[in-house]
Amino acid sequence: MSGGWLDGYAVLITGGGSGIGRAVAERFLAEGASVTVLGRDADQLDDVVRGAADPSRVHPVTADVRDSDALHRAVAETVDRFGKLDTLVANAGVWDYQRQLTRLGAKELDTAFDEIFSINVKGYLLAAEAAWPELVKTRGSIVMTLSNASFYVNGGGPLYTASKHACLGLMRELAYELAPKVRVNGVACGGMNTDLRGPESLSLDGRSIGASFAKRGPDTPPPPIPLHDSSTDPRDFTGPYVLLAARDQSGPITGHAISVDGGIGVRGFGSAAGGDHL
């Protein structure tokens, strides 16, 4: 494709086999990029390759984001296959199913903290460490998947919320440290109907956030956010990733998070949306 906002870009996406990572991969392909999709599940990654209009522009890497050697290998394979690296999308993560402190024993807290922080925070940091030398060469950028839980409470329990607040801090710190050659930004997603899992250490890895969305019926109250009728399809969250990755469109933007959360920051006290009567 020519004329896309990411024409000729080479991109590495962690957690690219499902959910928002896959939606971003497909959108970036449509915008003219080539993508390396990294994830734990080889079948999911093969499915991304099979589903692509031009499979030669998709490179799958089966790896765990806690494995620094594997992330270095993914960067090297991206450069071998596509000639360079323009964008890292740090995205792979797990949720804590809003398990509150009072419902966590000391041992559970200990192990779940290590698991969630090592995937959600260390995974982003190790990916940035593996990618920055190539990003300096291309004057590229990092786009991190952040969350409503990077700013507000109750999108997770203490483990998830703290991990996503940490990612916000990481995004800002790296935006400073890698400037002026590499921009670092985030997309703070709200609730999306994806395959997001819980940690193995809490035996929540068999559950998917998508199941909670599927259970919602006509009597389910709307989410308490202004745009409570907005989409939860991850494909509808991909635009800001394209914007932030495209140097022609967002060259002066770094250290910024775009919230795509239906307006959580402008909720009212009496009602979430002031225009329900309109």
**Does the protein bind ligand NAD through residue 262 (CB under 6 A)?**
no
* Helices and strands (DSSP H and E) totals, the chain: 9, 7
Among 24, 61, 88, 119, binds ligand NAD (CB under 6 A): 119
**Does the protein bind ligand NAD through residue 225 (CB under 6 A)?**
no
Task: Please work out the total of residues on this chain that contact ligand NAD, with binding judged by CB under 6 A.
Answer: 28
**Does the protein bind ligand NAD through residue 36 (CB under 6 A)?**
no
Both structure tokens of 80:
């071998």
Q: Tell how strand 58-62 and strand 87-90 pair up.
A: unpaired
Of 108 and 195, nearer to ligand NAD (C-beta) is 195
Of 63 and 138, nearer to ligand NAD (C-beta) is 63
Of 119 and 264, nearer to ligand NAD (C-beta) is 119
Contacts of 192 (CB under 8 A, 6+ apart): 19, 20, 209, 232, 233, 234, 237
Report the nearest approach of ligand NAD to the CB of residue 91 (Å): 5
Of the candidate spans 72-80, 92-100, 248-256, 264-272, the one that interacts with ligand NAD by CB under 6 A turns out to be 92-100
Residue among 20, 37, 19 nearest 87 (CA): 37
Whether the Cβ atoms of residue 159 and residue 103 lie closer than 8 Å to each other? no
Neighbours of 70 (CB within 10 A): 16
Distance CA 143, CA 117 (A): 19
Q: Tell how strand 257-260 and strand 183-189 pair up.
A: parallel
Indicate which residue of 9, 97, 124, 160 is catalytic.
160
Neighbours of 229 (CB within 10 A): 10
Give catalytic status of residue 241 as yes or no.
Answer: no
Whether the Cβ atoms of residue 192 and residue 19 lie closer than 8 Å to each other? yes
Of 57 and 197, nearer to ligand NAD (C-beta) is 197
Of residues 52-81, those binding ligand NAD (CB under 6 A): 64-66
Residues labelled catalytic:
160
Interface residues with ligand NAD (CB under 6 A) are 15, 17-21, 39-41, 44, 64-66, 91-94, 119, 145, 147, 189, 191-192, 194-197, 209
